Structure 1
Amino acid sequence: MNNFSSSNLFRLADLGCSVGPNTFTAMQNILEAVQHKYQSQGLASKIPEFQVFFNDQGSNDFNTLFTSMPKERQYYAAGVPGSFYGRLFPQSFLHFVHSSYALHWLSRVPEELLDKNSPAWNKGRIHCTNASDAVVDAYAAQFTKDMEGFLDARGKELVSGGMMVLITLGCPNGMPYSNLPTGLMFDFLESCLNNMAKEVSNSTGLLSEGQVDSFNLPVYAASPMEITELVERNGCFSIERLELTNVRTEADPKLDEKACVMHLRAGFESIISKHFGNDIIDELFDRLVKKVKESFHLILSSCRGGTQLSVVLQRK
């Protein structure tokens, strides 16, 4: 707490906040943890005021975010639109940064995937799952570029001693993406899209093979080794904790096919409809439910490994 004693204002940011309510829960938990830290050190009289910055892309529905904000909150709130892969705040401004399930989104689809003359042209595929090495390398290179920008920006914005907690999709070192639950679901989704495109290839339909060829999901699950290398290369942070955990626990409700598809649809419907249009959505996800049922045992077995990457960094 000595790092923050010169100010009576504790600033924290949630990067990739979406529209709630998870962001409000996370911010309240962090706030209470800081308060408890002060109290445990006999500094209850010096507990600071709190200011929370909610960040997401400019297209995020900030109106919904702020109208659903808890009325009894213990912090001042502000919205900060913009990409977290670049600077968002002044120098040495923040004390704590949190980001949950946002960093797996790439800033853009690698250009090589759409170039027919490139070895990374991803024809017939929508992700790097089961794709060529060139495609996997293109995804990894884009993630590296994005994370370098993210770490560089946060290194400037966090005070010395400031903390950063990142939770995102993860992949065990050396494991193919096809062994992950998300990889399997992307593979099933890809199969449904290709089947729909082939069915209408010789007639006027809702979906074409060309549309599938030009569609790629900008998502990447990094390994602990990749994150470690990026943090060490950046040099601004010490790694306090880095681990892969299982998203699901024994206490969670039993996983079923429809729940898997529902989660995928919630996260990706907007990007799919933007590319293919709204007319295919219901048919696509109905087919996906059937596809998942056929191979649901693979989903269940893939969920046994750790696929959630938790990282705690401290600004040097």
Structure 2
Amino acid sequence: MTMFSSSNTFRAADLGCATGPNILLAVQNMIDAVKHSHELPEFQVFFNDQTSNDFNLLFTSLPPERRYFAAGVPGSFRSQLFPRASLHFVHSSYAIQILSTLPKEAVDKSSPAWNKGRIHYSNSAPEAVDAYEAQFAVDMKSFLEPRAEEIVHDGLMAFIVPGHPTGTPHSEAFFNKTLEILGSCLVDMANMGKISYEKVDLFNLPAYLASPHEMDAAVKQNGSFSVEIMEYLHQEKQQPEALASTKRAGFEGILKEHFGFGEEILGRLYHLVCKKFGQQSSTFLESPGDAMNLFVFLKRI
């Protein structure tokens, strides 16, 4: 009740909303949960993403009989987007693991972290892993500091990211294994002469899977939040086609920008990805025990 002492309107934000429709279900779940506990007359939901996001597509998919006022807020969530102490609840799903920028060492040919022939850090030299880890720490700092300004006292924040268990190699995380397969398919296309080896060498996905220890350290360093819940949610088995589609949805824009892919060659790439996922189904796709999402629930103190 402290959270609502100064307002009869519940204000929530989803950061990294993309175009839906999954986020619309998350918003409805949030509203149902709040209304179950408090009789609040009005809800306002802010949908945030980069300025390049197709907000028109998002808005046309909003339920016509929704029980909340909706608004779009363009801009990076690694800066302040809302007035001070204006939000009661912040949500984000599968967005915070995307880095604001690639570690410069990973694409520097003179650096020990030079990530030649790979598109990710998980099976790379320790220097590459360290570079990604350091960038993630910087990005978490720039994510939490604005939220500390925007969220009211006792306000809440919940987010889900792909993660890896503390103390285990990054290469054992299911999400990272799928990126290794995507990288091998890009090498295959270079072998076929469809893209250049140099383009593959210079391509690195800007994503980092944090452990609970790293998340906890970032929250403690910020000092404005208490950790209410931090736990793994095990991911259910996905069919190769669905898994390939997920990768395409998540990284299509980055691939197009770097390689200049048209729809035909992009389709060929994901045909290869789907085929390799199918070939691997008897190993890690059938029982993805290490396919874990990290759920973090924080309270503003």
TM-score range, shorter chain: over 0.9
What's 2:10 paired with? Answer: 10
Q: What is the Cα deviation at residue 9 of structure 1?
A: 1.5
Quote the RMSD (CA, aligned, Å): 1.5
Q: State how many pairs are aligned.
A: 299
SS of residue matched to 2:235: coil
Which one is further off, 213-222 or 21-30? 21-30
2:199 to 204, 211, 228: 211
On the 8 A contact 2:277/2:285 being kept in 1, the answer is no
What's 2:30 paired with? Answer: 30
SS of residue matched to 2:97: coil
Matches within 5 A, 1:90-109: 90-109=83-102
1:120 maps to amino acid: A
SS of residue matched to 1:278: coil
Which one is further off, 279-288 or 233-242? 279-288
Runs of 5+ unmatched residues, structure 2 = none
Using structure 2 for the length normalisation, give the TM-score: 0.95
1:66 to 59, 63, 70: 59
Matches within 5 A, 1:1-316: 1-38=1-38, 44=39, 47-200=40-193, 206-248=194-236, 255-279=238-262, 280-300=265-285, 303-305=288-290, 307-316=292-301
Using structure 1 for the length normalisation, give the TM-score: 0.91
- Write out the 4+ residue segments of structure 1 that deviate beyond 3 Å after TM superposition: none
CA distance in 2, matches of 1:148, 1:272: 27
Structure of larger gyration radius: 1
| Closer, same or farther: CA 294–222 of 1 in aligned 2, 3 Å | same
Which one is further off, 80-89 or 4-13? 4-13
Identity of aligned residues (%): 50
2:204 maps to amino acid: N
Q: What is the Cα deviation at residue 36 of structure 1?
A: 1.0
CA distance in 2, matches of 1:220, 1:98: 19
CA distance in 2, matches of 1:56, 1:282: 26
1:50-101: CA deviation from partner (whole Å, max 9, x where unpaired):
1111000000000011111111111111110011111111111111100011
1:154-176: CA deviation from partner (whole Å, max 9, x where unpaired):
01110100000111111111222
CA distance in 1, matches of 2:112, 2:246: 32
SS of residue matched to 2:243: helix
